[in-house]
Amino acid sequence: MPRGEPLKVLHEGFVPGRFAIDAYGRGGFRFAEMSHRGSILALPSGVHAWPPREGAALTPADFAAVVAEGADIDVLLLGTGSAPVPVDDAVRWALREAGIGLDVMATGAAARTYNIMLGENRRVAAALVAVP
């Protein structure tokens, strides 16, 4: 999109459909010809705004929307920011009980891996913490 042209934004924090992540950084993401500042969840139902601002402070409650769609997700790619950080065992257990595998990595790696797996039509979701 050319500079100076206004960007579309998420409508009420949700865009239905499955979309590849076109870009990340500067505190947000680009997908589906839109831009969003902040973290996102890319789920089978669509892309959702996601409140967490750092990967180290995540709790099971942060993944309620993921667990709710767990029947359609085999693996969750968790991008924790600029670098991978340890995830609390309670988060791992909540996802495991929902039948969802977890792979933790830096946000950039998670976005790229998500795009590949999405292109392979895999049952994947991504929880991506925005990076500066």
Range 109-118 contact pairs with CB under 8 angstroms and sequence separation of 24 or more: 109/79, 110/77, 110/78, 110/79, 111/21, 111/24, 111/29, 111/79, 113/77, 114/20, 114/21, 114/42, 114/77, 115/20, 115/21, 117/75, 117/77, 118/18, 118/20
Asked whether residue 7 carries a pLDDT value surpassing 90, the answer given is: no
Tell me the pTM: 0.90
Percent of the chain with pLDDT over 90: 84
Find the mean pLDDT for residues 87-97: 97
Contact at 8 Å (CB) between 22 and 7? no
**14-128 under CATH 3.40.1230.10, yes or no:** yes
Asked whether residue 17 carries a pLDDT value surpassing 70, the answer given is: yes
What pLDDT does residue 12 have? 64
DSSP 14: E
Contact at 8 Å (CB) between 95 and 66? yes
Asked whether residue 25 carries a pLDDT value surpassing 80, the answer given is: yes
